[in-house]
Structure 1
């Protein structure tokens, strides 16, 4: 009973989804965290009356490759400005026939093949949290937020998959064919370069985190396939934003 909890949505935009003109009454906020600077300024504003904060994961000039993104600063900065939820987008390659280019996938699990990335806030950084955090990762993503995304995709009639395991590779190179075939054998549905440590840090920070992926290609396991298209990555912005349409936010709130 009483007042509804205050919701503030952080949106982490992947390739093609870092357009700050999405917001009304937008302002730029330059922030610093105990873990350094985030990838870019935070764009604060509203979408249909819901307070939101947009952060370009790779920077607005796409200047940071996946292994160089300061994921800790990104997540901490969003929490620092009061975000309660994070909705993330990612362009992905498909590892299974049924997940076709153009499909949306609401991620529910991951396999981590990255290395050298800072995956915890609990490392005695000055100004950071104290102690040690042994974090359970089942479920990896917030189920309530995932269900909101699924509801929105259904309402819009988009081709989508309600679950998907992302194999997260180091990048910036793509997989070899042998690696792609191995990822298929492991049970991966998709491959990308940024879900880890982003999802881990968001959970450690106590934030609801869900991610919607757009399938852009069939990776390289399939014979006679064309490489990922920048046009499909740009489609991610249009398709995913229409899917959000803040119906997601209304469900969460």
Structure 2
């Protein structure tokens, strides 16, 4: 199935990748618009890597302003097979202290101002999101965190809020009651789009604060968050370097089925599909559309 290509989407505090060799920033054109930035191509311990700063270098783009469809489409066009999403987040649990990395396994999507699908009128598809992250990638990230002695927790629910404002105290308590582990602003619809593009996807949520529910801590403050972000970014670089060799080698079929998500998802009859929409989906869904 070809070589494994690891895509890393860097969130707040992570705008580049250390240790890459043969590097080149390259603009990838997408029919869905402009990605957040150029993509950084390189190799890490012999593994092909592609890095994209989610907010753009210099953090120019707000969570609601990110073109998530263009980002994932560009990753697909770059040949990425596995995406590691690295994101800053707030914590809803005392035990998930700032500096902890959470390898999440579920999401709640509370966003409302974003394009959430590559598909729509003219070419309809419904992918399963019951298990929204790739367990195979999660296993590799957990092992890498253990090897690098990074404080981490495997499993948890990431609530994606619209932002850009932080939560009200009432919202924070409500999300805790829902059983959420962490809160952020960017991993939805990113995870949904990665599934539609048949790319394995996993999130490492890096805790920076306790949101605003914790009585013993001040409400979220950007200056305090930035201080924790710096330390988290250093650990994130180590984590990615440690996970790369665990995913290296020839690409095999994903046991979780992420790379075959569209096989039973397309519902529009072949003769009723909009050819213009199908043309835009040449990268995302070309594997199944060409076989129609």
Q: TM-score, normalised by structure 1?
A: 0.93
Q: Which residue of 2 aligns with 1:56?
A: 53
Aligned-pair CA distance for 1:45: 0.7
The whole-number CA distance in structure 2 between the counterparts of 1:67 and 1:198 is: 12
Aligned-pair CA distance for 1:20: 4.5
Of 222, 237, 240, 1:241 maps to: 237
Alignment: residue pair count: 244
2:193 aligned counterpart, secondary structure: helix
The whole-number CA distance in structure 2 between the counterparts of 1:74 and 1:12 is: 9
Q: Which residue of 2 aligns with 1:89?
A: 86
The whole-number CA distance in structure 2 between the counterparts of 1:216 and 1:139 is: 26
| Equivalences for residues 114-129 of structure 1 within 5 A | 114-123=111-120
Cα pair distance change 1:240/1:20, threshold 3 Å: closer
Q: Structure 1, unaligned stretches of length 5 or more?
A: 125-129
Q: Structure 2, unaligned stretches of length 5 or more?
A: 249-292
Of 19, 24, 43, 2:21 maps to: 24
- Any idea what the Cα deviations from partners look like across 1:115-169, whole Å, max 9, x if unmatched? 0211110136xxxxx6211111121100000000001111122211001101110
Aligned-pair CA distance for 1:31: 1.6
Q: Which residue of 2 aligns with 1:127?
A: none
1:229 aligned counterpart, secondary structure: helix
- Any idea what the Cα deviations from partners look like across 1:74-125, whole Å, max 9, x if unmatched? 000010011111111001100111111111110110111100211110136x
1:190 aligns with 2:182: yes
Aligned-pair CA distance for 1:229: 2.0
Larger Rg: 2
Q: TM-score, normalised by structure 2?
A: 0.81
The whole-number CA distance in structure 2 between the counterparts of 1:113 and 1:101 is: 23
Aligned-pair CA distance for 1:192: 0.3
Aligned-pair CA distance for 1:21: 4.5
Moved over 3 A (4+): none
Aligned-pair CA distance for 1:61: 1.8
